[in-house]
Structure 1
Amino acid sequence: MYHRRWKKAHRGAAALLCTAVLCAGTAADAAPSLARPEADIAGELLTPEIGVEDRTPTYQQDHYDATFTVENFILEAPDLNLDKAPLVTLLQEGMGKGKTIADLRRTVDALTTYCRTHGYPAAAAYLPPQDSPDGTVVLRIIPGRYDEIAIDNSSRLKTPVAQRIIAALKADDIITTDKLETALYSVSDATGARAVGVLSPGREFGTSKLTVRIEDSKESNTIFYVENYGSPSTGRYRYGLQETLYDPSGTGDKVNVGGLISNGSLRNFYANYETVVGRGGSTLGVGISRMNYEVGGQLAKIGAEGKSTTVTIFGRVPIFHQTNRSLALRYGYNYRDLEDDITAFDLEGKKHTHSIYAGLVGSQQSGGLSLDYSTNLTLGRLSYDSFYSTVLGMVNNVEEG
C-alpha cells in the first residue's frame, strides 16, 4: 500500500519537493520572534528607568579680595582617567594676572563639573593649603569613593535580591558613572522596577554614601499587535497577544505568555519564565512554544500540515548598560521536535534538533540615532525520525548530525 502511494507521489515529485521546501520555510516563518526567549516587542514593553541624584557639595572657599598672578597650574589627579586636552583648556582659562580667590573657585568648580559629567559623578576639585611664591598653584581632584551603600526599597523586589544585583558596587571603590549606571539598569532590566542612585556626603573626606531607591513600576504589561510578516500559504496577516508579569514572586522574575494566530491556519502559543540568578543582574530562564499550521491555497489539496514543539533554556549576563549604550552576553539550549506532513500521501516528515548558542546583544545611541545589534554562534545536531524526512534530506543535501 505504501509503495503504490509512493509511485503516485513520484509522478508529482516536483510538486512534493516544492511543498517540502515551502513547509520548511513555513515552519521557520510561522514561529514568530516572540516565541523565542528574550524577544520582546521593541518599544512596547517597559523601558528600564534609572536616575542618579548628586547631593555631594562642590568645594567652597572663603571670600578673599586680594589679587595675584597665576603663572601655572599643577593638577594632581592620579586616580582619574580623563582626556587631558579639555582639562588643559580649563586650566589655561584660569591663568593670568589680576586673579582672585573667586577666580580660582570658578576654575575649581569648572574642573569638578567636567569630572562629574565625564564619568566620575562624585569627583571634587579643591585647592589644598600651599605657598605659591612663583605663581604656580597646585589643584587636586579626588575621584570620590563609596563610603556606604544602602538600599531604600519600596518595591515588590526582595531586598536581598537587590543586594545581589548591585553587588559589583563596593565600599572604598572609586565611583564611576559606568559601573553605577550598569548596576541601576541591571535592577531595572531584571525586575521592571525603577532604580535611582542618590549620592550624599560620606563620613570621611572624599567619600559619598550611595542610597539606591527602588520603586515599583507596572506589575504587568499587555500587548496586542497585528503584522503582515506571514506567508500567503498560512496567512499573511497575523494577530498576537502577549502578557508579561513583572516580579510576581519578589525574586526578580518575569513571566511571559502569549499567542499568535493568522488569517490562515497558523497557531502559535508560548510561555517563558525568567529569574535573577547569582550576582550582577544575570538571569536564567526556561521556555516552551507550540506551533501548528496547515498550508492553504492550491497546496491545500495535498494536505501539507505540520507542528513543532520547542523547549529552551536561556540566560543573559549584562556586561554593561549605560544611558547611551549597552552590551550583554546571551546563551541557551534549544530542543525542537518538528513534523511536516503530506497527509494526502501519508507522508510523515519527522525530525528533531538539539542546539546551543551564545552571542552578544547591544545598543548604541548618539544624538538622535539609535543602533541595535546582535550576533549569535549556534551549534546543533539534526536527526531524522521518518523515512520521508530522510529522503528530503538526501534530495536537499542536508545530512544528519
Structure 2
Amino acid sequence: MLLLAVAGHAQVPGAPHAPNAANVPSIPRAGQTMRDLETVRPELPAPSSLELDLPKADDRSVPAASADPGIRLKVQGFRIDGNKVFDSAQLLPLLSDLNGSEQDLAGLHAAADRITAYYHAHGYLLARAFLPPQDIEDGLIRLEVMEGRYGQVVLQNKSRAFDGVLRQPLSRLRRGEAVHSAELESSLLLLNDIPGAEAKGTLQSGTEPGTTDLLVEAEPGPLAGGSLEADNYGGYYTGEYRLGGSFYLNNPLRLGDQLSLRVLGSDKRQRYYRAGYQLPVGPWSTRVGVSYSDMGYHLGKDFAVLEAHGRASIRSVFVSQPLLRGRAFNLSAQLQYDDKRLRDEMDLFERNVGKRVGLWTAGVNGNGQDNVFGGGQTMFSASYSTGRLRIDDPYTEFIDQVSARTGGSFSKMNLSAARLQRLSNRFQLYAQANAQWASGNLDGSEKFGMGGPYGVRAYALGAGSGDQGWQASLELRYAVAPGWQLSAFVDKSVVDVNKQPWTRERNTRRLTGAGIGGAWAGQGHQISLALAWPLGQRDASGGPVRSPRFWVQGAQYF
C-alpha cells in the first residue's frame, strides 16, 4: 500500500475517511513543475509608439473658386467628382439639406468642408473637397475631391535586415491608393515589430498633383539584449531561490529573425533551459517559430528520502498572425503544437514513469488603451487546446485507468483578462482574472494552478491545482515617486480538483489571500517584493504554510 500511495500517487476509489489533500504535501511531478515554471502573470504591453510626420493636404493643385462674396446662388443640387473611396450616393446625403436654399460663396465652401470632414472621420486625413472654378447652370454645384493618394513609397534602410524583409509590411501601401491613417499606422507598427529595426515615416508632397510620397527611414535597433534575475519564486521541494538569465539576438540572419535563450537554476538542483527562434514570412507579417525547453529537478526537504528526480522537455512550433495592429488596439491569432515528454523517477522504489503529451492550441490575444474613466489599458486572451496523453509504464497506466483516467484524449479552454485603470495622477487600479475549463480529468502538466507569485500570493508555488477553475486579483497601486510604487492586493482562486471525481475527498478547493507590495524601477533594473497573508483555509500541499509569505524578485536588464 505504501508503494501504491507514494509511487502511484493514487487512492483506492471510494476509500472512506480520505485525508484532506490540502493538509498533505503533494509530490511535485515533472509536468506540474514545468507548468509552474513557465506560468507568468499576464503583463500589459507598453503602449505602441510610432514616429510619423503627417502633413496637411497639399494645396498646390487645388484651384479655388472665387467670386463676389455678396453673390447668392439658388442651389438645386450638387455633383461630386474625383471621389473613388466613397461613391456619390454616400456623400450627397451629407448636403441634402442645402438643396433649394440660397448660398453665398462661404456657404458653398462650407458644403465642401462637410465632405472633407466625412473623409477625415473615416481615416482619410489627407483628403480634401473643394469648390473648383465652374460655370453654374440650373443651380447644379460641382464639388471636387482630392483623396490624397500615394505616389512613391521610398525605403531608406540602415538596419541590419534585408530591404525585402522591411518592404513586406509596406506592400499594402500601393501607388494610387488613398492614404488611410489606420493602414499606414498598421504598416509602420508592423515594420517596427521586426526585431532590430526602428522605423520613422514621413509623408511629403508627391511629384504628381494630388499624390503624397511616403518616406520610410529604418534605423538599426538593438542587436542584442537580455536580463539577469534573482528571486524566490521557486517551489519549496525543487528550490525556492533561483538565479536566471535571458538573452536575445536580433537579425542573426538579417531576415527579421530573432534568437532567444533562457537559463534558470535553483538552490535545489533544478535546472531549466530554453531556446527559441522565430522569423517573419509573407506580406502579412506572419511569424513562424520553434522552441525547445528542458527542465530537470531533484526533490529535497521532506521528499529527499524518496531520491525523486525527473525531467521534462517541450518541443514547440507555432505560427502567429497579426489581425489588427494599431496604437489604440491590437489583435492577433496563434496556432501552436507542443510535444511534451515527461519523466519521473523514484530511486527508493525503483520507479521510472514516462509520459508524452501532444497538444494543439489555437488562440487569440489582444490589448488596447483607451480614455474610459480617465484612461487605462486592457489585455485579454482566449485559447482552446486539444491533445492526447500517453503513459509508457503499464503499472502507472493501470492505476490511472482505475482512478483519474487522465490518459487518452482531452481538451481544455483558457481565458484571461487584465485591466490597469487610472484613478488619479498617483493611484491606479489593476485587476486580472484567468480561468480554465476541461473536458475531463487532466494530467498535472495541464491542470490549473492556484498558488505562487503569479496566483494567490499567500500560498506556495504548487499549493493547489485543479482540472478547471478560476483565479482573480485586485490591486490598488500608489506611485510614491518616479520609479517607486506601493500596492495593496487581494487574490482568490477556486478550482475543481477533478472534473470527474473518483474519490470521496472534497473536490472543491478555495484559496484566498491579501497583502501589500512595493516595486522600484530604475534605468535598466527593477526590484519588486510582496508580503501576503492567507485568509481562511491553509493549504500545505505546496510546502509549509507561512504567514506572511514573502516574495522578492530583482532584475538587471542590458
Q: Post-superposition shift, 1:224?
A: 3.1
Instruction: Say which of 4, 18, 37 aligns to 1:10.
Output: 4
Q: Which residue of 2 aligns with 1:309?
A: 313
Distance, in Å, in 1 between the alignment partners of 2:308 and 2:50 is: 47
**Preserved contact between residue 67 and residue 98 of structure 1 (Cα < 8 Å):** no
- When normalised by structure 1's length, the TM-score is 0.80
Distance, in Å, in 2 between the alignment partners of 1:215 and 1:75 is: 47
**Preserved contact between residue 364 and residue 381 of structure 2 (Cα < 8 Å):** yes
Q: Give the AA of the match of 1:372.
A: M
Say yes or no: does 1:381 pair with 2:388: yes
Distance, in Å, in 1 between the alignment partners of 2:78 and 2:145 is: 11
Distance, in Å, in 1 between the alignment partners of 2:79 and 2:263 is: 62
Distance, in Å, in 1 between the alignment partners of 2:229 and 2:72 is: 69
Q: Give the AA of the match of 1:160.
A: G
Q: Which residue of 2 aligns with 1:369?
A: 376
Q: Give the AA of the match of 1:130.
A: Q
Q: Counterpart of 2:179 in 1: which secondary structure?
A: coil
Q: Which residue of 1 aligns with 2:58?
A: 57
Instruction: Say which of 392, 397, 400 aligns to 2:405.
Output: 397
Correspondence 1:240-279 to 2 at 5 A = 240-279=244-283
- The one-character-per-residue Cα deviations of 1:63-104 (angstroms, maximum 9, x if unpaired) are 7662344777848456249xx99x959x999xx989555x76
Q: Which residue of 2 aligns with 1:4?
A: none
The structure that is strand-richer by fraction is 2
Distance, in Å, in 2 between the alignment partners of 1:283 and 1:295 is: 38
Q: Post-superposition shift, 1:9?
A: 1.4
Unpaired runs of 5+ in structure 1?
1-6
Say yes or no: does 1:30 pair with 2:31: no
Say yes or no: does 1:147 pair with 2:162: no
- The one-character-per-residue Cα deviations of 1:326-375 (angstroms, maximum 9, x if unpaired) are 11221122111111222321211211122222222221221222111222
Q: Counterpart of 1:345 in 2: which secondary structure?
A: coil
Q: Which residue of 2 aligns with 1:67?
A: 70
Q: Post-superposition shift, 1:252?
A: 0.5
Aligned Cα RMSD in Å? 3.7
Q: Which residue of 2 aligns with 1:168?
A: 172
Distance 1:392 1:159, change over 3 A: farther
Distance 1:229 1:97, change over 3 A: farther
Q: Identity percentage over the alignment?
A: 24
Distance 1:169 1:61, change over 3 A: same
Further displaced range: 134-143 or 341-350: 134-143
Distance, in Å, in 1 between the alignment partners of 2:297 and 2:73 is: 80
Q: Which residue of 2 aligns with 1:79?
A: 85
Q: Post-superposition shift, 1:163?
A: 1.9
Further displaced range: 206-215 or 56-65: 56-65
- The one-character-per-residue Cα deviations of 1:276-309 (angstroms, maximum 9, x if unpaired) are 2122211111111111222333223223322111
- The one-character-per-residue Cα deviations of 1:154-204 (angstroms, maximum 9, x if unpaired) are 211211122223222222223222222221122111234222232223343
Q: Give the AA of the match of 1:139.
A: L
Instruction: Say which of 272, 286, 290 aligns to 2:290.
Output: 286
**Preserved contact between residue 64 and residue 133 of structure 2 (Cα < 8 Å):** no
Say yes or no: does 1:223 pair with 2:227: yes
Distance, in Å, in 1 between the alignment partners of 2:110 and 2:228 is: 55
Q: Which residue of 2 aligns with 1:211?
A: 215
Distance, in Å, in 1 between the alignment partners of 2:323 and 2:231 is: 33
**Preserved contact between residue 53 and residue 196 of structure 1 (Cα < 8 Å):** no
Q: Post-superposition shift, 1:112?
A: 4.1
Q: Post-superposition shift, 1:254?
A: 0.7
Q: Give the AA of the match of 2:365.
A: V
Distance 1:104 1:246, change over 3 A: farther
Distance, in Å, in 1 between the alignment partners of 2:158 and 2:340 is: 42
Q: Post-superposition shift, 1:382?
A: 1.6
The structure that is helix-richer by fraction is 1
**Preserved contact between residue 313 and residue 332 of structure 1 (Cα < 8 Å):** yes
Distance 1:262 1:206, change over 3 A: same
Unpaired runs of 5+ in structure 2?
12-20, 410-558
